[in-house]
Structure 1
Amino acid sequence: MLDKPLLIDGTWRAPSGTRAGDVRNPATGQTIARLPLCERADLDDALAAAAKGFQTWRKMTALERAKIMHRAAALLRERADTIAHHMVREQGKPLAEARGEANAAPEHVEWHAEEGRRTYGRVIPSRIPGARQMVIREPVGPVAAFSPWNFPVNQLVRKISAALAAGCSIIAKPPEETPSACIELARTFQDAGVPDGVINIVFGIPAEVSEYLIASPIIRKVSFTGSVPVGKHLGALAAAGVKRATMELGGHAPFIVAQDADIEAAVRLGVMLKYRNAGQICASPTRFYIEEPVYDAFRMAFVAAAKTLKIGDGLDAGTQMGPLANPRRLDAMDGFVEDALATGAHLDCGGRRVGNAGFFFEPTVLSNVPENARIMNDEPFGPIAALAKVTSIDEAIARSNRLEFGLAAFAFTRSLATANRFSDELHAGMVSINHFGIAAAETPFGGIKESGYGSEGGAESLDAFMTVKLISHIGA
């Protein structure tokens, strides 16, 4: 499947050059495939195809587009297990998590298919007798989309679905580390009847691809999910061309536990959120702020739960946490732990690499972590929880809000008044209280401050993919 990884104008083909990169299984560290990478000539072909595909797709009715997208969703359900196995081999997450991601993808397609049928305009009463004033929404044009390796299908399907629902064509650059599931995802849309040129897939040197595509006058919208530094750079490139952009960037989510909280429920959710996908999630909590009266009880229960997690190959039965993506992530985890201990934190469990094969790191809990520790200020993107004691809700909120990240925040309390304070005062694009309530197809996913702008999912999803046009006329 990786011999011809580029989808351009309806045809799967090999790149025009000879460059290629390794695809590795992070559970073994071994190279399992070579991925050919595109050249500038391939990008020119993709741009031409997207321009042509846009003219075809935009002229189809919203109902016609929705029918094709619903067929794609049905095919995704049929192929979900194959897609999940691709993710495990190339990304490392446990098979149960990969199946959950693959099975959620059709929901995003279906949601956006129906939202595309509801891109309503309006009529404005005119101040001029006999004039008719209307507002309509139109697709912005071809889209350049860049998705990350941690959720290969989840992130790519959101971008493709929103673009198609709005009537746009798209050139998507999925992650080179995890290509197979993304290719299979694109095939479902192609097999469902999406016209040639509407969806184009390229793999290449990330900086080369992004800079070339964003600079092209054909591209009118940019969608990126990834790190804050790269997002700032791509946002600046988009701004130079006065192009719309959606930026879903990094986070450093706080997790607040009030003294009246259900400690058992807080621990259960906290452990799940922290160690899911080995902590390689932009919305994963790292800074755990626990009120002093329940700090010891929470810490002991959290540590006990973290110690029971089974680490291993995602395809092995019973695996609850897989490997990190690459050796660089292992070095990063070592650095966070060493720094925290040097600043006075206590290592309650974990803190070490596991085995001699693959990129495994133990589920780690640090307690009494001071605010000047690097892990309380920089996103670790790994399986390390940093616990800190607070004396009040005021302190917990203040410490949660002090960083420039603002993607997600989590909190536990039995008090409605305290829950309302969390809702009103936590600076995040998504606040989830007493449960995990984010990332569904019908809810907006996005951050504030340096965590980005724009939303993927929910009724807001299509906003950045469409323009608003005023039409004012007097009958002939």
Structure 2
Amino acid sequence: MPGTDTRTLRDVLPPPLLFVDGAWRESADGRTRPVENPATETELTAVPLATAEDLDDALAAAAAGFQRWRTTSAWDRSDVLRRIAQVIRDDADRFALVMTLEQGKPLAQARGEVLASADQFDWYADEARRVYGRTVDGHDTSTRILVRREPVGPVAAFAAWNFPSLLTARKIAPALAAGCSVVVMAPIEAPLSTLLFAEVAEKAGLPAGVLNVVTGEPAEVSRHLIASEVIRKVTLTGSVPVGVQLSTLAAQGLKVTSMELGGHAPVLVFPDTDVRRAAEVCARGKFRNGGQVCIAASRFLVHESVAGEFTEAFVEETRKLRLGDGQDPSTDIGPLTTAARRDAIAGLVADAVAKGATLAHGGGAPEEFQVGYYFTPTVLTGVSPDMRVMREEPFGPIAPIATFSTFDEAIAVANATPYGLGGFVFTGDLTTAFRASEELEVGMVGVNHLTIATAEAPFGGVKQSGHGREGGTEGIDDYTVTKYVSMRLGDLA
């Protein structure tokens, strides 16, 4: 950390330990794995690799915590969630720095993510008191039918490293609101932001065992947790292959799942929009967090009559973006989080160029950075459907620009992938906006902007992008089960 000694760093980071049953602890066998700063390729700290014994302790704690928490009144649960939100906001600058150090994104973006995480707890503090049931008239006047929503049980939660605070908050907040306990596996590439939630839980007065945070080898941890009879619900934000694996494990125990998986969001730019402004918005939005965003605009489909103007403005805006260490306030794009991600992006660019695409900007690692996982924001034109970048989720700073001639063609190309997370439309025509938003095969649509994720709206996809929703009033549903009670009044039937 530039300009910061070891003592200061140690003060900033959360304890590099497991958090089980309200206590911090090392792994049973003492094994650890380093956590790296992607801007400097230096080790920040090392976190434990949980053993089967550690995980069994976390499961036992979650089972006991669930029995305590499910009988806590909705109003009391609401109060705790509200305190969690406030603790996060009070320490937002520190939490943002931790995220930048371990994940790479610029401090301003990290702070925005931290505050968005607090919003999740604020929102679900209210939803905790609004888990509604209903009464239904029976066939006769002596029958009363009651329908209740009850917590599903202990939850195993897994989230990706690209938004290590927000993605985890989207799972913890609704689970706690519903009355569930949680075992969270922190993403091993960037686990510290998730460990901060354990600190927050302590400060906010969450009972021991209700939230447990573990770190470890992903395959080992997920397999052990999901196989346990304690776990009744599995939730993941991650890639499609990992989603398939965890869904298969959950199916063996008939456990309910919610999966927020990969995306390859199309952006439809129609000629009746403000083309230059649309290009500027798209360039800024595309490269946020280095393009490591599941809902990132990743295929730009531009009407042929304005493609030249759009591309020129898009490249012009991209050139303005400053690459650098996320701790530098002037940085717009930090390093990618891992060397593997940088190498994967290089492979997608090489494939596109080999198949005839043109590099309008970028294309590789910048020469001025001798260390760190940096990759210059890249714009490709002349792309075709056979290129990997048009078929695979890029998850990085690549912007392929293609053209279309008709509305139907644009929709057909946009829907021609197995993904269905998000899509975006830029148009000045209300009819086009409605038609496109209805015909895109996605779970979320943004019209004339890209920043659609918010605590009060449901977030999730269709097709291979998963199922279930996080956020909004729908977000708590996946953490509840329906119980029906039929009550007979008077004499026994």
TM-score (norm 2): 0.95
Per-residue CA deviation, residues 410-437 of structure 1 (Å, 9 max, x unaligned), is 1100111111111210000001111235
Q: Secondary structure at the match of 1:118?
A: coil
Residue correspondence of structure 1 range 72-471 to structure 2 within 5 A: 72-354=84-366, 355-471=369-485
8 Å contact 2:437–2:445 — kept in the other structure?
Answer: yes
Deviation at 1:185, TM superposition (A): 2.2
Deviation at 1:4, TM superposition (A): 4.8
Deviation at 1:363, TM superposition (A): 0.7
The aligned residue for residue 34 of structure 1 is 46
Deviating more after overlay: 445-454 vs 123-132: 123-132
Deviation at 1:260, TM superposition (A): 0.8
8 Å contact 2:311–2:401 — kept in the other structure?
Answer: yes
Distance 1:120 1:3, change over 3 A: closer
Provide the C-alpha distance between the structure 2 equivalents of 1:133 and 1:58, rounded to a whole number of angstroms. 23
Provide the C-alpha distance between the structure 1 equivalents of 2:201 and 2:30, rounded to a whole number of angstroms. 28
8 Å contact 1:222–1:244 — kept in the other structure?
Answer: yes
Per-residue CA deviation, residues 340-368 of structure 1 (Å, 9 max, x unaligned), is 11111110010010222000000100011
Per-residue CA deviation, residues 51-92 of structure 1 (Å, 9 max, x unaligned), is 000000000110000011111111111011100000000000
Deviation at 1:18, TM superposition (A): 2.4
Per-residue CA deviation, residues 305-343 of structure 1 (Å, 9 max, x unaligned), is 111110000001200000011111121111111111111
Provide the C-alpha distance between the structure 1 equivalents of 2:72 and 2:14, rounded to a whole number of angstroms. 32
Unaligned segments of structure 2, at least 5 residues: 1-12
Deviation at 1:268, TM superposition (A): 2.1
Q: Secondary structure at the match of 2:384?
A: coil
Deviation at 1:3, TM superposition (A): 5.4
8 Å contact 1:228–1:451 — kept in the other structure?
Answer: yes
Aligned length: 476
Q: Secondary structure at the match of 2:340?
A: helix
Provide the C-alpha distance between the structure 2 equivalents of 1:175 and 1:330, rounded to a whole number of angstroms. 18
Provide the C-alpha distance between the structure 1 equivalents of 2:268 and 2:340, rounded to a whole number of angstroms. 30
8 Å contact 1:27–1:322 — kept in the other structure?
Answer: yes
Q: Secondary structure at the match of 2:432?
A: helix
Deviation at 1:44, TM superposition (A): 0.4
Provide the C-alpha distance between the structure 1 equivalents of 2:407 and 2:370, rounded to a whole number of angstroms. 44
8 Å contact 1:69–1:189 — kept in the other structure?
Answer: no
Deviation at 1:277, TM superposition (A): 0.3
Provide the C-alpha distance between the structure 2 equivalents of 1:437 and 1:150, rounded to a whole number of angstroms. 16
8 Å contact 1:130–1:474 — kept in the other structure?
Answer: yes
Provide the C-alpha distance between the structure 2 equivalents of 1:76 and 1:159, rounded to a whole number of angstroms. 16
Q: Secondary structure at the match of 2:135?
A: strand
Provide the C-alpha distance between the structure 2 equivalents of 1:189 and 1:20, rounded to a whole number of angstroms. 24
8 Å contact 1:123–1:135 — kept in the other structure?
Answer: yes
Deviation at 1:184, TM superposition (A): 1.6
8 Å contact 1:6–1:201 — kept in the other structure?
Answer: yes
Provide the C-alpha distance between the structure 2 equivalents of 1:437 and 1:313, rounded to a whole number of angstroms. 24
Deviation at 1:183, TM superposition (A): 1.5
Read off the aligned partner of 1:162 and give its amino acid letter. P
8 Å contact 2:276–2:309 — kept in the other structure?
Answer: no
Read off the aligned partner of 2:52 and give its amino acid letter. R
8 Å contact 2:342–2:374 — kept in the other structure?
Answer: yes
Read off the aligned partner of 1:310 and give its amino acid letter. R
8 Å contact 1:91–1:149 — kept in the other structure?
Answer: yes
8 Å contact 1:3–1:14 — kept in the other structure?
Answer: no
Per-residue CA deviation, residues 399-458 of structure 1 (Å, 9 max, x unaligned), is 000100000001100111111111210000001111235210000110000000000101
Provide the C-alpha distance between the structure 2 equivalents of 1:161 and 1:265, rounded to a whole number of angstroms. 36
The aligned residue for residue 31 of structure 2 is 19
State the identity %. 48
Read off the aligned partner of 1:316 and give its amino acid letter. D
Provide the C-alpha distance between the structure 1 equivalents of 2:328 and 2:451, rounded to a whole number of angstroms. 29
Deviation at 1:35, TM superposition (A): 1.5
Runs of 4+ residues deviating >4 angstroms: 1-4
Per-residue CA deviation, residues 281-312 of structure 1 (Å, 9 max, x unaligned), is 00111110000110000000001111111000
Per-residue CA deviation, residues 247-293 of structure 1 (Å, 9 max, x unaligned), is 00000000110011111331122112210000000011111000011
